C-alpha cells in the first residue's frame, strides 16, 4: 500500500523524532560491497543502532534493511555466496521495510532491463528499471530534486552510473523525477508500501530524509 502523500509531508517534531528513534529496532545495512559506511554513518547520525549484515543470522537482529549502491551484478553474486538471497527475500515478503539506493534499487525492482542474462532481483517494488541508462559519457552528475510528499525542500542528488525507471506499477508512488534530454521524464525516487528506492545516493549528501523515512517505517512495522 503506498503511503498517502499527506502522511509523509507531515513534519515530525524533534520530540516525535526522538521518540521514534528511542523505539526504533536496529537497522541493517547489507555489508558485502558498495557504500556501506556512508549508509551506516547516516543511520548512526539519526541515533539508531546499525547492524552490518553479512550473514543470515544478522537478519534476526534488524527491523529494516538498506541495500546500498555498488554494482548490482557483483552484489547479487555476493548475496548468493553469503546465503542471504532466500532469507532476505523471506523478510521482504513478510513486510520488512527496506531502502534501496542505486544498485540497491536494481536489486529490489520487479523487472531489470539491460541486465546480465543471469540477473535476478527481489521484485519487492513494482518497477521496471534499466541499468546504466544514463550512458557512459554522462555516467555521473548532480542535480537538486523537488521531492513530492517528503517535507523539507529540494534534495541535492548525486547520480553515479545510475539506473533509470522505465515503468511504474499502479501501487507505486513517485517521490522525485528528472528530465533526461531527448528521453522525457523518469522517476528517480519511488515508494510502494514500506519499500523505498532511489536511483541516486542520499547517503552521500548529509541529507538524511530517506534514512528517517526508513527508521519511521521500521518503528511502524515493529508496532504491527
Positions touching ligand GLN (CB under 6 A) are 69-72, 102-103, 106, 131-132, 160-161
Sheet strands (E) in 32-93: 50-53, 64-67
Query: How far apart are CB 82 and ligand GLN at their closest, in Å?
Result: 17
Under the phi-then-psi rule, with left for phi > 0, alpha for psi from -120 to 50, and beta for the rest, what region is 137?
alpha
Query: How far apart are CB 74 and ligand GLN at their closest, in Å?
Result: 8
Is 107 or 214 the residue whose CB approaches ligand GLN more closely?
Answer: 107
Q: Which residue has the cell 521500521?
A: 218
Beta strand 27-30 pairing with 64-67: parallel
Is 72 or 196 the residue whose CB approaches ligand GLN more closely?
Answer: 72
Is 46 or 160 the residue whose CB approaches ligand GLN more closely?
Answer: 160
* Catalytic residue annotation: 102, 201, 203
For helices 209-223 and 36-45, give the axis angle rounded to 10 degrees. Answer: 70
Cell of 178: 528528472
Contact status, residue 101 vs residue 209, Cβ threshold 8 Å: no
φ, ψ (nearest 5 deg) of residue 107 = -65, -25
- For 80-119, give one letter per residue: b (16+ CB within 10 A) or e: eebebeebbeebbeeebbbbbbbbbbbbbbbebbebeeee
Q: Which residue has the cell 521524464?
A: 185
Is 24 or 131 the residue whose CB approaches ligand GLN more closely?
Answer: 131
For helices 14-22 and 209-223, give the axis angle rounded to 10 degrees. Answer: 60
Query: How far apart are CB 162 and ligand GLN at their closest, in Å?
Result: 6
DSSP states of 102-116 as a string?
THHHHHHEEEEET--
Query: How far apart are CB 170 and ligand GLN at their closest, in Å?
Result: 26
Query: How far apart are CB 17 and ligand GLN at their closest, in Å?
Result: 28
Is 25 or 69 the residue whose CB approaches ligand GLN more closely?
Answer: 69
Amino acid at each position: 500500500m503506498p503511503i498517502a502523500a499527506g502522511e509523509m509531508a507531515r513534519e515530525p517534531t524533534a520530540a516525535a523524532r526522538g521518540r521514534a528513534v528511542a523505539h526504533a529496532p536496529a537497522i541493517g545495512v547489507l555489508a558485502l560491497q558498495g557504500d556501506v559506511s556512508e549508509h551506516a554513518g547516516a543511520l548512526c547520525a539519526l541515533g539508531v543502532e546499525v547492524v552490518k549484515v553479512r550473514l543470515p543470522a544478522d537478519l534476526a537482529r534488524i527491523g529494516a534493511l538498506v541495500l546500498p549502491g555498488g554494482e548490482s551484478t557483483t552484489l547479487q553474486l555476493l548475496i548468493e555466496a553469503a546465503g542471504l538471497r532466500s532469507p532476505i527475500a523471506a523478510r521482504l515478503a513478510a513486510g520488512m521495510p527496506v531502502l534501496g539506493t542505486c544498485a540497491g534499487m536494481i536489486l529490489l525492482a520487479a523487472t531489470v532491463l539491460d541486465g546480465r542474462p543471469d540477473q535476478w532481483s527481489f521484485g519487492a517494488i513494482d518497477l521496471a528499471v534499466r541499468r546504466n541508462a544514463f550512458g557512459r559519457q554522462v555516467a555521473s552528475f548532480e542535480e537538486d530534486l523537488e521531492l513530492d510528499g517528503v517535507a523539507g525542500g529540494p534534495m541535492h542528488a548525486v547520480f553515479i552510473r545510475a539506473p533509470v525507471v522505465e515503468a511504474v506499477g499502479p501501487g507505486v508512488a513517485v517521490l522525485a523525477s528528472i528530465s533526461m534530454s531527448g528521453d522525457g521524464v523518469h522517476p528517480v525516487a519511488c515508494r510502494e508500501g514500506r519499500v523505498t528506492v532511489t536511483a541516486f545516493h542520499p547517503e552521500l549528501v548529509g541529507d538524511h530524509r530517506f534514512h528517517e523515512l526508513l527508521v519511521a517505517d521500521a518503528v511502524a512495522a515493529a508496532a504491527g
